[in-house]
Amino acid sequence: MASATIKLFLPHGDAKLLRTGEVSNWTGKALAAPRTDLDQLLAREELENSGIYFLFGADPETGDSLAYIGEAEVIRERLKQHRAKDFWNSVVVFVSKDENLTKAHIRYLENRLMDEAKRIGRYRLENANVTNAKLPESDREDMEVFLSRIQQVLPVLGSDLLTPIVESNKRASRSNMLVCKNKGAIAKGQRTVNGFVVFAGSTAVLKERPSAETQHPFVVSLRNKLFNDGALVEKDGFYFFAKDTEFSSPSAAAAVVHGGGANGLTAWKDESGRILKEIEEG
């Protein structure tokens, strides 16, 4: 992704309240706010324009991250309708400063954004069906550039919805690949900006240690959640990771692989056998 200079403006001087974001030499503009600031967001003149918007929150029953991706020719009116949705607590809007986003453009962007969000899998989407929009080749290219800027700005505004769990070029590198083995299970992964990722195709022991239920109940709970979410699949006497799965730390990842408490700094090793602790201490 190309380098970028992102300018943030805090109208109230508070980074958690209403804020705007712009990128040098980009016609787009982002506006973000917590739900408690919705009225102030709706009062902005930018919301008279067409654009894309994101609603972020959590499932009240499971705690899973939820997102809604939408488009509208008049953002203000559409957001007013979403007051009826209870799950969301923050909103991010993207519009064009030159007002050149047509209905076909924003439908195309909505579709592409939903595809990317589903592929990355960090959030469960509250909406699932969109109508594909056909654009001329030159317009599609313009919207792909717009999409790439949304991907850059969205994390700065507080959401990793479109941030890949691990970049493909980093995953391909053997120099930062780590392995965790236990009782025939073999998992491969690496550090990420958010913690640690275990790659799809890795395996974990099927049965937890007898002590896990009492001494490390979080491991049992986490493995059950991953199984229910489809990240872990039972096969040939092991759990298989069906997709790249990110954890908060190397230890959390190793604990799932081991089926009990584990020290990630010693459980993960590189191809030469050095433990993670040694690698990071240089």
Q: Dump pLDDT digits (tens) for 67-101.
A: 999 999 999 999 999 999 999 999 999 999 987 89
Residue 142 neighbours by CB distance under 10 Å: 17
Helix spans in the chain (H): 38-42, 75-81, 103-120, 137-156, 168-171, 212-215, 217-229, 250-258, 264-267, 276-281
**167: pLDDT strictly greater than 70:** no
Q: Could you tell me the residue ranges of all domains in the chain?
A: 6-156, 168-281
Statement: residue 1 has pLDDT above 90: no
Q: In the predicted model, what is the mean pLDDT of residues 12-28?
A: 94
Quote the pLDDT of residue 171: 53
CA angle 7, 10, 14 (to 5 degrees): 130
User: What integer is the mean pLDDT of 100-114?
Assistant: 93
Distance CA 238, CA 206 (A): 5
Tell me phi and psi for residue 126, to 5 degrees: -75, -30
Confidence of residue 46 (pLDDT cuts 50, 70, 90): very high
Residue 194, token pair as written in the block: 């958010």
Least confident of 132-136, 151-155, 209-213: 132-136
Q: What's the average model confidence in pLDDT over 53-77?
A: 93
Split at pLDDT 50, 70, 90, the class of 175 is low
Per-residue pLDDT at 169 exceeds 70: no
